[in-house]
Structure 1
Amino acid sequence: MTNTIHHGCPEASSRKMPGTHASRQQNARRPATLRPAGSRFLGGCGLVAMLVMASSGSSLADDFSALAGPAPAAASFDWSRFYVGGSIGRATAAGGGPRDIAYTYRDHNDPYFNRDETIGNDWFFPQGSSSSGPLVGGVQFGYTQQFGKMVIGAEADFNFLNAKRAYSGAAAEDLLPYPETRPDYNYHVREELAAEDTVKWLGTIRGRVGYTPTERLMAYVTGGAAYAKVKGSGGYNYHEYGFWWGGPGDHDFDRSGGMSQSSNKIQWGWTAGAGLEYALTDAISIRGEYLFTDLGRSSHSVSMASEASDETIAWKSKTRLNILKFGVNYRF
């Protein structure tokens, strides 16, 4: 009988030792952990290129901007345009108003009074002078041309208003009964005299010189010619009463009368002032303006004639106005 001798442990024949065929197959299926040398070189070049592009990005952008030219500047506002607009404000009459008032009367039926009898305002006790400051409203049209910060232009406007100055005076006379022991005569009279100047409308033709401290704000001075329609009104009223006894025509009497007339004239003068104008948009601007207007001295006369008598009231006056207006202009 032949005996088979095994060297080593009984399990040695079935244990898979390192380096066996199965182990080599398993290692062959694992992915390689090392790249070839050429692949590593290409990756490094890509990284360097990205760093170079990032560092030179701003300079490339500057180069493209230089080729494209400078960016267009924002459009600035220019006052060089025609404009039309409207305004509203307040006008106050200044100056002395009516003075040197005289009332002249001629009675054609009375031999004694068939001549001019004049009563001056020195006969009357002045009750006072007054003035009114009504609203003023109108339209304006003009053109301005800008030279740097300076603006030069011209404007014409037309305004409706009702600014007036008035004078009124009164007189009273009482003749006591005469003679005192036998009163045969008693006479009383009350008189009123009035004159008034009213500016009905006003127009101006003016130059404008302005300065623009900011792009849309203009401060300006203005001046030129002024013309206006001035209505002159005058009135005289009387009331006399009493009695007459002791002769032909004995009677009591109580009578009243008077006259009231008006006339119109165009007066020329000058005006000057200043203002501020601000452009809200390229087409719309708002402004505030003060004007002093002097229409000069003038003489007025109103009369009323009939077959029985002629009556006339005459006076002198100087017409001045202080005007403050706020307006809106549309430029085109």
Structure 2
Amino acid sequence: MRISPFALLAATAALAIAASGAQAADLPSRYSPAAAYNAIPTFTWSGFYAGVNLGYGRSTGASQYYDPAFNVTGGGRKSGFIGGLQGGYNYQFGMFVVGAETDLQYAAVGDKGATYRGTSYPGDSDGYFGTVRARAGLAFDRALVFGTLGFAYGEIGGNKALDGALGYRRDNDMSGGWTMGGGLEYAVTDNFTAKVEGLYVNLDTSDSYALANRVNIRRDTEFGVLRAGLNYKFN
């Protein structure tokens, strides 16, 4: 059978195109592979932390002394330095953060003295208090706004006293009570956070002490605290 030159030329061209396509398929792609996506981790408040704090406290309840036999009164309010340690744990889900915190503080806000018939029986104002509190708040990335409520204990001053005629004495007994407050905390780095916090503390040390129906004593230990703190957050 006779093949025309035109058909032979067309068949040759088709074979050349097919061979060229096969060779091209074997060549490496000229396009770069898709870049791997690595998400930048977001900050989380979850984890344990510990730190230090310092601030100012002021007694809001007067340590009052009253002797009905002589109708003599005395008392006062104290303010001073507060500082100590704190530690706790936070757990974050979404914007919500819940946790628990405990702290132990030196506090110069007490009034351990007494007054009798114009004579002052001074006492030092040094004392201590601690708290065990629940915390809850809202996180806005690295900023946390929180409230706190819990148990307080300590010995600030003004628990019990006897007047001079009956033999002055002062008892330094630890008392319990409650505390509440709130504040703002900010994560300066992934590990260090700074906070400003306010607390109201009531140690429930109002006390009556009677001897021969002559002496009644009332001590009302309530004080406010404004403090700044620095925490280290463990990853």
Q: TM-score range by the shorter chain?
A: 0.7 to 0.9
Three-state SS of the structure 2 residue aligned to 1:270 is: strand
User: Which one has more relative contact order, counting CA pairs under 8 Å at least 6 apart?
Assistant: 2
**Which structure shows the bigger proportion of residues in strand conformation?**
1
Task: Using the TM superposition, give the Cα deviation of residue 162 of structure 1 relative to its aligned residue in structure 2, in angstroms.
Answer: 2.1
Q: Does 1:318 align with 2:226?
A: no
Corresponding residue to 1:227 among 153, 172, 175: 153
Once residues 325 and 80 of structure 1 are traced to their aligned partners in structure 2, the CA distance between those partners, rounded to angstroms, is 23
Gaps of 5+ in 1: 1-58, 103-117, 171-190, 239-257, 304-309
Matches within 5 A, 1:199-214: 200-213=127-140
Per-residue deviation, residues 49-76 of structure 1 (Å, max 9, x unmatched): xxxxxxxxxx935xx22xx44x212121
TM-score (normalised: structure 2): 0.75
Once residues 226 and 120 of structure 2 are traced to their aligned partners in structure 1, the CA distance between those partners, rounded to angstroms, is 33
Matching residue of 2:7: none
Q: Does 1:60 align with 2:31?
A: yes
Matching residue of 1:168: 115
Checking the alignment, whether the CA contact within 8 Å between 1:200 and 1:229 is kept in structure 2 is yes
Checking the alignment, whether the CA contact within 8 Å between 1:261 and 1:302 is kept in structure 2 is no
Matching residue of 1:17: none
Checking the alignment, whether the CA contact within 8 Å between 1:291 and 1:322 is kept in structure 2 is yes
Matching residue of 2:12: none
Once residues 124 and 207 of structure 2 are traced to their aligned partners in structure 1, the CA distance between those partners, rounded to angstroms, is 11
Checking the alignment, whether the CA contact within 8 Å between 1:229 and 1:267 is kept in structure 2 is yes
Query: Which AA in structure 1 matches 2:92?
Result: Q
Once residues 163 and 43 of structure 2 are traced to their aligned partners in structure 1, the CA distance between those partners, rounded to angstroms, is 60
Gap change, CA 1:85 and 1:145, over 3 Å in 2 = same
Matching residue of 1:16: none
Checking the alignment, whether the CA contact within 8 Å between 2:114 and 2:161 is kept in structure 1 is no
Checking the alignment, whether the CA contact within 8 Å between 1:194 and 1:234 is kept in structure 2 is no
Q: Which has the larger radius of gyration?
A: 1
Matches within 5 A, 1:1-332: 60-61=31-32, 64-65=33-34, 68-69=35-36, 71-99=37-65, 101-102=66-67, 119-120=69-70, 122=71, 124=72, 126=73, 129-165=75-111, 168=115, 170=117, 192=119, 200-213=127-140, 215-232=141-158, 234=161, 236=163, 259-299=167-207, 301=209, 314-332=216-234
Gap change, CA 1:200 and 1:300, over 3 Å in 2 = farther
Identity %: 29
